[in-house]
Amino acid sequence: MAMVCLSDFEAYAKKYLPKIAWDFFAAGADDCITRDENILAYKRIHFRPRMLRDVSIMDIRTKLLGTEISFPVGIAPTGFHQLAWPDGEKSTARAAKAMNTCYITSTYSTCTLEEISAAAPGGLRWFQLYIHRNRAVSQQLVQRAEALGFQALVLTADLPYTGKRRDDVRNGFRLPPHMKLKNLEGAFEVCKISLLDPSVTWNDIHWLQSLTHLPIIIKGILTKEDAELAVRHGVQGIIVSNHGGRQLDGGPATIDALVEVVEAVQGRVEVYLDGGIRKGSDVLKALALGAKCVFIGRPALWGLAYKGEEGLQDVLRILQDEFRLSMALAGCASVSEIGQHLVQFSKL
Amino acid sequence: MAMVCLSDFEAYAKKYLPKIAWDFFAAGADDCITRDENILAYKRIHFRPRMLRDVSIMDIRTKLLGTEISFPVGIAPTGFHQLAWPDGEKSTARAAKAMNTCYITSTYSTCTLEEISAAAPGGLRWFQLYIHRNRAVSQQLVQRAEALGFQALVLTADLPYTGKRRDDVRNGFRLPPHMKLKNLEGAFEVCKISLLDPSVTWNDIHWLQSLTHLPIIIKGILTKEDAELAVRHGVQGIIVSNHGGRQLDGGPATIDALVEVVEAVQGRVEVYLDGGIRKGSDVLKALALGAKCVFIGRPALWGLAYKGEEGLQDVLRILQDEFRLSMALAGCASVSEIGQHLVQFSKL
Amino acid sequence: MAMVCLSDFEAYAKKYLPKIAWDFFAAGADDCITRDENILAYKRIHFRPRMLRDVSIMDIRTKLLGTEISFPVGIAPTGFHQLAWPDGEKSTARAAKAMNTCYITSTYSTCTLEEISAAAPGGLRWFQLYIHRNRAVSQQLVQRAEALGFQALVLTADLPYTGKRRDDVRNGFRLPPHMKLKNLEGAFEVCKISLLDPSVTWNDIHWLQSLTHLPIIIKGILTKEDAELAVRHGVQGIIVSNHGGRQLDGGPATIDALVEVVEAVQGRVEVYLDGGIRKGSDVLKALALGAKCVFIGRPALWGLAYKGEEGLQDVLRILQDEFRLSMALAGCASVSEIGQHLVQFSKL
Amino acid sequence: MAMVCLSDFEAYAKKYLPKIAWDFFAAGADDCITRDENILAYKRIHFRPRMLRDVSIMDIRTKLLGTEISFPVGIAPTGFHQLAWPDGEKSTARAAKAMNTCYITSTYSTCTLEEISAAAPGGLRWFQLYIHRNRAVSQQLVQRAEALGFQALVLTADLPYTGKRRDDVRNGFRLPPHMKLKNLEGAFEVCKISLLDPSVTWNDIHWLQSLTHLPIIIKGILTKEDAELAVRHGVQGIIVSNHGGRQLDGGPATIDALVEVVEAVQGRVEVYLDGGIRKGSDVLKALALGAKCVFIGRPALWGLAYKGEEGLQDVLRILQDEFRLSMALAGCASVSEIGQHLVQFSKL
């Protein structure tokens, strides 16, 4: 079977992963409307491609908070990579480094931050965190991440409680006994997500800033009001995200929410996006609407499920090639030429 | 089979109820467009969820005309509960009381008002009535309800004649011989809905007010014009309803009609809604658009069909959990924080 | 099989008619988009039903050019009724008279005008005509119709040439040898539609007026410009029609075109509609948007195919009952209360 | 099997062509959204047909840059006609000449320009070209075409690189060994599309103009900005095209893009369109929106696959008949009467 596009990896993963793992990765909240909208929304955006521009030399590099990456696609934080591939997050780290892009490592990794760092020394990594009821746990994680060279903290804002994913309830999903949330061992019992603190507010950003010199990115913003609050509280970046449609069903597609966030932010901080990226042209649409970079969640897991590190590189390479081609066909030779003039929302 | 969401109860009821009973409960008028629109319309409303608000302590209680209920979901008036469960409306009353919510008891109950009251003493109940050609029948029902402690009258305004439900015609639907419209026994022959008075007008509200001290809620309003008339005629509440799509096919989805009714009423009376509620997030959308409370019809019957009182409690508990979670994920810790800013109508 | 709604008759006709006849009646031009839009367009119109109006006494009668009919649904002109039922148009005439409504008799009848008149003496009938290259043919038909008591002429304006109906081409459709276009026998050879005159213009209305004292209705108008021309040329009525989607594929649904025609006409002549009527509530929508009456084409043929005169009466009776019920449920006791306030076009 | 409409030829070609050839012709980029939109977009455009106009004498001729053709449909440039029929482009040229229309011959022909010219001497042909890295190749092609009597050059602007057509990748598509890109033999190796120059800009139009006296048409324009640039750079015509949806997936349907291009051009040069034409009424819609002529790509190949020259004539004759009928039914007796008043975009 030729792996030509990301859907091929999805089909592979669906076929070969244990059902309970596939269901967990695929799950959306409730009726999965937001999960599916993340993808459908791209179909309502049309390009306005420009012709006869010199696209003989293509430059698809961009920078994340000043650090160059090979193209504007990183790895979104997702948990439990050992469910997809034995080496888990170590493979993810290696693939991201090989492709010279950013890997946002989840708190809910099945490898320790130390193992991940050792697997791909020097790779660009950000650390995703929640704020725990026991703040000492969060503090310890932040300090470990900083010491290990993670270059930013990504605070997930949309999970005061876990969304209702029906298949996980039906399957009685839990990690197999031989996998652990290794970053949290010792800190408290495994998988007790309820130990996250639902009382967290914007003021806790200040507390987090007091713990670290790392820049702070906030993930899960979907409105202009919250974007404004994020900027005012001194974050360095915003990830427009609905947690892959796994939290509040009925929330907007991220590509739709991006527009109002970008308009509110007015360039004061970098804005990123995750959710629904399946083709290089999706990346181009997100950049045209103001995202500095996008992050892929499920497609990265499909790549891991296919062939571990190598499979994830395949996924990234396909996206890279498609993105470069889309740019050229739209008349852009470098990411700096991408702008809102390239797209319009379909009336339909 | 795990009962995870309301659709599970629907599937159960469809499988285990006699076809004639399932068809009767499921029926919509004509092509069932309005029945189905009631549900589809929610998919066109997106949340604008807010992040990093303290949702550690959730308060989902609300008040109906001053009386507190555990969450803003009550039981809509539907007839013939014995078709779903042997104990019929007695089970419904018990479940509603156990869950501390309001049960609007239908005139077309298969238990008497007295039996229902005795089954769950002290429960919050409203009485749904029609105005009969023989006004003495209505008067007697109103007075019985008031004497039994029902706390409001719900006048159904959208049934001067019964809608055309094709399956009921095909099935030759009628109550099995061992079930009776017990509240009407003696008053006139069973099931002669044609004894309802199609000449009823707004003036009859005044007649009704002269019979009772109970507040009067009018059910079946779908336009701003009628909402204004309702307020002017001194009702205490309005239920935006299209009778579950069982009366005039082609009428608006209730969640769409809610907007214009709420705008017309301007807070002068409480506005409720029934029709299409299938998830906790539907409840949140209705409240965001101005409903004080919603009522469930078919899902309550599915719960009864599953396990009587216990099954209906399951349905209510699921809705309650989903509503609480949706609120938290949208950034609201109490119902007072829910407002129109939380939603927007999709352009699609 | 219970015949509950018009779709039941459609299913019967599809099952029992010879394929070539079914295909001919069902045919639309090209991709059948306009044929299907005629029906779909009704689903995009919502009612704004009004409550608590006295609908105890329902008056659904209307007048066509001053002549009362039992309800605002007549029989549209369609050809070849013997393909549906042996007695052909004689049965149609009897059913229309029995139901006290108007039957627009087609030039392409398989019974003569004389046979049709004799079958149902005193019935309200209009005569549909084309203008032939040989004007003497048209003149003779007009004079026969007038002498036989037809009360209006309906000039079909949308058939300078016959639309392309793919199935008819594939089937090599032609009348069976034992059926004749009896009104045209002697005048010229049967079925040579190409003898119609594609050079007809508005001036020919004046020629037609010079031949007859009958009022002239023009059928096939879809734009405000042509509606204005029709009024200026002194017609007494307009039938908004796209020939059941059998002529120009891609034309508007008639219910959509009705709006602009009614607005242009400003009450100067009566406006009718055919196309897509399948339920009583469709009739109500058309009247709310300004039609004085609607006409049914294919459903009449299904009724004939079911049981001849009796079947067509069944169809009309069902529509009558559904229309009366829809009116009542929308809060109208007589057709004079029906107005544009009753409907709105869905944003979707 | 009767060949009644273009879909019949499509079904034939799909059934009888080798899969690899069918897939190549059918291919669209990525998810084929733009390819399919090209067709779907016509369904969102409604006619406003006019009645009672003299359409007895129909004149469907038009002129391309002053040269008369029998009706406003030409053959778009597509490659590799021998994949569809052994005689390849020679058959295409004969059919186009027989039907008195214009054939835009592709650089990627499997017959030489000389063979094509000899096959149908005197036929109206334009030559489609790319600009090659080795400009001498382009120059030689231009001069050969001019010498052979091709009457215009069509510069394809939307292929700096080839779009990603998944099926071609999966199939490992390449020309069978016995077919050659004959116009390029000797110039460089066959099928190295990468020898096209992705650095081409608007300035190269001037270079092209310096080589030839032929008028230059630019193909692949989709925005008003590029339309303006094309006019300013002195082209004689614009083909609104998205390469049949084979290049940038997510670009607009051509019929949608036509509107903004026509508005920008303001009649200064002729505007044509290709993509999605499947019926005579599609041609009428394109002309109503300002196209001077349309070109068919895949339908021409289906005609070739059916019966070579004869099959392509069948396709053209069907389109011609349908176009003439659509015009008549819309009330236009000549193409000069076609205008924007004939159409409106559906709100849906």
Residue A32: inside a domain, yes or no? yes
Single out the catalytic residue among C46, C81, C132, C243: C243
Partner residue facing A281 (CB), from D197, D220, D249 = D249
Residue C1: inside a domain, yes or no? no
Query: Which tens digits make up the pLDDT trace of B191-210?
Result: 455 679 999 999 999 999 99
Residue A304 in contact with residue A11, Cβ under 8 Å? no
User: Is residue D348 very low, low, confident or very high in pLDDT (cuts 50, 70, 90)?
Assistant: low
Give rounded-to-5 percent helix, strand, coil for chain A: 45, 15, 40
Residue B102: inside a domain, yes or no? yes
**Pairs across C and D, CB distance < 8 A:** 87
Q: Give the residue on D whose Cα is nearest the Cα of C172.
A: D2
- Residues from chain C contacting residue B251 (CB–CB below 8 Å): 46-47, 49
Q: Looking at residues B96-109, what average pLDDT do you find?
A: 98
**Pairs across A and B, CB distance < 8 A:** 86
Mind telling me how many Å the CA of B167 is from chain C's nearest CA? 9
User: Is residue C192 very low, low, confident or very high in pLDDT (cuts 50, 70, 90)?
Assistant: low
H or E segment at C239? strand C237-240
Chain B contact present for A23, CB below 8 A: no
Residue C12 labelled as part of a binding site = no
Separation CA A3–CA D170 (nearest Å): 9
Chain C contact present for B89, CB below 8 A: no
Q: Looking at residues D198-211, what average pLDDT do you find?
A: 97
Q: Is residue B348's pLDDT more than 80?
A: no
Cβ within 8 Å, pair B51-A198? no
Sign of CA dihedral B254, B257, B263, B267: negative
Helices and strands: H and E segment counts in chain A = 12, 12
Residue C122: inside a domain, yes or no? yes
Residue B244 tokens, joined: 């579950």
**Bridge partner list, B313:** none
- At B216, phi and psi to the nearest 5? -115, 130
Q: Is residue B310's pLDDT more than 60?
A: yes
H or E segment at D75? strand D73-75
Q: Is residue A348's pLDDT more than 90?
A: no
Q: What is the mean pLDDT of chain D?
A: 96
How confident is the model at residue C184, as a pLDDT? 87
Residue B1: inside a domain, yes or no? no
Single out the catalytic residue among D46, D178, D243, D341: D243
Partner residue facing C46 (CB), from B201, B221, B251 = B251
- The label of the residue with tokens 């555990």 reads B70
Mind telling me how many Å the CA of A202 is from chain B's nearest CA? 6
Residue B294 in contact with residue B274, Cβ under 8 Å? yes
Chain C contact present for B346, CB below 8 A: no
Separation CA A275–CA A252 (nearest Å): 11
Residue D183: inside a domain, yes or no? yes
Q: Looking at residues C234-254, what average pLDDT do you find?
A: 98
Q: Is residue C185's pLDDT more than 50?
A: yes
User: What are the b/e assignments for A232-266, b being 16+ CB within 10 Å?
Assistant: ebebbbbbbbbbbbbbbbbbbbbbbbbbbbbebbe
User: Is residue A190 very low, low, confident or very high in pLDDT (cuts 50, 70, 90)?
Assistant: very low
Residue A230 tokens, joined: 């994020």
Cβ within 8 Å, pair D170-A4? yes
Query: Which tens digits make up the pLDDT trace of B152-181?
Result: 999 999 999 999 999 999 999 999 998 989
Partner residue facing D248 (CB), from A52, A321, A330 = A330
Q: Does A have 3 or more CB contacts under 8 Å with C?
A: no
How confident is the model at residue B236, as a pLDDT? 98
Q: Say what percent of chain B tops pLDDT 70.
A: 97
Cβ within 8 Å, pair D166-A55? no
Neighbours of chain A (3+ CB pairs under 8 A): B, D
Q: Looking at residues B333-338, what average pLDDT do you find?
A: 98
Q: What distance separates the 2 farthest-apart alpha carbons in chain D?
A: 61
Residue D124: inside a domain, yes or no? yes
Q: Looking at residues B250-276, what average pLDDT do you find?
A: 98
How confident is the model at residue A191, as a pLDDT? 44
Cα separation of the two ends of chain C: 36
Residue B148: inside a domain, yes or no? yes
How confident is the model at residue A188, as a pLDDT? 54
Report the interhelical angle of D280-288 vs D298-330 (nearest 10°). Answer: 70
Query: Which tens digits make up the pLDDT trace of A61-89?
Result: 999 999 999 999 999 999 999 999 999 99
Residue A323 tokens, joined: 């993105």
Q: Report the residue count for chain C.
A: 348
**Bridge partner list, D103:** D75, D125
| Active site annotation includes D243 | yes
- Residues from chain B contacting residue A252 (CB–CB below 8 Å): 46-48
Residue C270 tokens, joined: 């009566």
Q: Is residue A187's pLDDT more than 80?
A: no
Sequential DSSP letters for D182-210: GGGTTTS-TT-GGGB-TT--THHHHHHHH
Q: Is residue C117's pLDDT more than 60?
A: yes
Q: Which of A248, A255, A260, A346 would best serve as a mutation to test chain B binding (most B beta carbons within 10 A)?
A: A248
What Å distances lie between residue B274 and B26, B42, B257, B294, CA to CA? Answer: 15, 13, 11, 6
Partner residue facing D223 (CB), from A4, A48, A55 = A48
CATH number for the domain harbouring residue B25: 3.20.20.70
Range of the domain at A238: 6-345
What Å distances lie between residue B85 and B82, B93, B308, CA to CA? Answer: 5, 13, 6
Q: Does D have 3 or more CB contacts under 8 Å with B?
A: no
Cβ within 8 Å, pair B31-C279? yes
- Residues from chain B contacting residue C42 (CB–CB below 8 Å): 250
> Could you give the number of structural domains in chain C?
1
Cβ within 8 Å, pair C328-B199? no
Separation CA B308–CA B84 (nearest Å): 8
Q: Which of A310-319, A338-347, B33-42 has the lowest mean pLDDT?
A: A338-347
Chain B contact present for C328, CB below 8 A: yes
Residue B257 in contact with residue B222, Cβ under 8 Å? yes
Chain C contact present for B275, CB below 8 A: no
Per DSSP (E only), the strands in C93-215 are 103-105, 125-129, 153-156
Chain D contact present for C117, CB below 8 A: no
How confident is the model at residue C1, as a pLDDT? 74
Cβ within 8 Å, pair B198-C49? no
